[in-house]
């Protein structure tokens, strides 16, 4: 088990919160950072919009516990930083925390990598991509990782991705995964549009949860 997971479980025991809740909160922090820091990466994504009502403050932690939460955040960031471009280092950890939770499960990373290789990179299979029930982004990350490995930043720069999930916690993790790697490796997608909608009832009508458009996407609209 990774140190991040061990420490998250230990911290969960200490503060009496489910480990999944703490993991979700780490992504709430990273998501807020990505939204609030959009000026820092506007050279990659000149147009970023998000639903401000869904950028939430964290509550439920004692002051003394916030230091430990920050230590966990630093560990998570180190894992993201050490990954190869668009490598999903999150889903398998999250999967172990999900066991028994509402019957949810995510595609294991080796399987999503195999599916991506089987389906072909975005350049081979078309640049308009969608994952309507993306969970933590296992299949999206497998696809982007493969696209980057085959065609580098240029291939990624043509990809127009729409992702969605009913569960706000999951779609936020998927958004952080894509955006964190894209910013860190200076590999903007043409566009990422994120919805947090019920696919059956309001996929068409709900406004995006988050959207980021690169220069390629912006210039095409003009
Ligand atoms: C089995 S998980 C798979 C997640 C992801 N596609 C993967 O491969 O790891 C199914 C996902 O569908 C989402 N989901 C279920 N019903 C949905 C609905 N009506 N609209 C949107 N998403 C839904 C769940 O929240 C969950 O994340």
Predicted pLDDT of residue 81: 97
The binding-site residues of ligand 1, defined as CB within 6 angstroms of any ligand atom, are: 104-107, 133-135, 138-139, 164-167, 170, 198-200
Q: Tell me the pLDDT tens digit for each residue of 90-147.
A: 999 999 988 767 677 899 999 999 998 888 877 766 899 999 999 999 999 999 999 9
Predicted pLDDT of residue 72: 96
Q: Tell me the pLDDT tens digit for each residue of 141-152.
A: 999 999 999 999
Q: Tell me the pLDDT tens digit for each residue of 152-175.
A: 999 999 999 999 999 999 999 999
Predicted pLDDT of residue 141: 98
Dist. CA 14 → ligand 1 center (Å): 31
What would the two tokens of residue 180 be? 């964190």
10-19, 57-66, 94-103: which has the highest mean pLDDT?
10-19
HSE-up (13 A, CA, CB side) for residue 38 = 15
Measured CA to CA in angstroms, residue 108 lies from 58, 66, 111, 114, 136 at distances of 29, 31, 5, 10, 11
Predicted pLDDT of residue 1: 66
Atom of ligand 1 nearest to the CA of 131: 6
Dist. CA 11 → ligand 1 center (Å): 28
Check: CB of residue 175 under 8 Å from CB of residue 208: no
Q: Which fold has domain 3-221?
A: Rossmann fold (3.40.50)
pLDDT of 221 higher than 70: no
Check: CB of residue 165 under 8 Å from CB of residue 115: no
How many Å apart are CA 135 and CA 8, to the nearest integer? 20
The structural domains of the chain, with segments of one domain joined by +, span 3-221
Helix axes 3-15, 19-36, angle to 10 degrees: 110
Dist. CA 132 → ligand 1 center (Å): 8
Per the model's pLDDT, the better-predicted residue between 36 and 120 turns out to be: 36
Predicted pLDDT of residue 80: 97
Q: Tell me the pLDDT tens digit for each residue of 169-194.
A: 999 999 999 999 999 999 999 999 99
Residues 126, 130, 135, 136: is their CA dihedral positive or negative? Answer: positive
Tell me which residue of 121, 127, 123 sits closest to 162, measured CA to CA. 127
Atom of ligand 1 nearest to the CA of 201: 19
> Mutation test of ligand 1: which of 103, 166, 174 has the most ligand atoms closer than 8 Å to its C-beta?
166
Predicted pLDDT of residue 83: 97
Atom of ligand 1 nearest to the CA of 200: 19
What would the two tokens of residue 5 be? 């997971």
């Amino acid at each position: 088990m990774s140190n991040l997971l061990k420490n998250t479980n230990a911290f969960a025991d200490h503060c009496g919160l489910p480990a999944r809740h703490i993991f979700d909160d780490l992504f709430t922090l990273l998501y807020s950072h990505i939204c609030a820091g959009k000026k820092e990466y506007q050279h990659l994504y000149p147009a970023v919009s998000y639903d401000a009502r869904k950028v939430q403050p964290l509550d439920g932690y004692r002051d003394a516990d916030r230091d430990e939460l920050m230590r966990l955040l630093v560990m998570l960031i180190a894992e993201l930083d050490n990954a190869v471009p668009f490598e999903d280092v999150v889903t398998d950890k999250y999967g172990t925390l999900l066991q028994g939770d509402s019957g949810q499960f995510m595609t294991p990373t080796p399987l999503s990598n195999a599916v991506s290789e089987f389906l072909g990179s975005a350049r081979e299979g078309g640049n308009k991509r969608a994952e309507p029930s993306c969970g933590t982004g296992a299949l999206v990350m497998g696809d982007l990782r493969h696209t980057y490995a085959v065609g580098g930043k240029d291939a990624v720069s043509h990809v127009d991705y729409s992702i969605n999930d009913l569960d706000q916690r999951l779609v936020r993790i998927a958004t952080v995964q894509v955006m964190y790697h894209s910013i860190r490796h200076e590999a903007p997608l043409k566009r990422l549009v994120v919805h947090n909608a019920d696919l059956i009832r309001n996929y068409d009508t709900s406004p995006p949860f988050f959207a980021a458009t690169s220069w390629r996407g912006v210039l095409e609209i003009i």
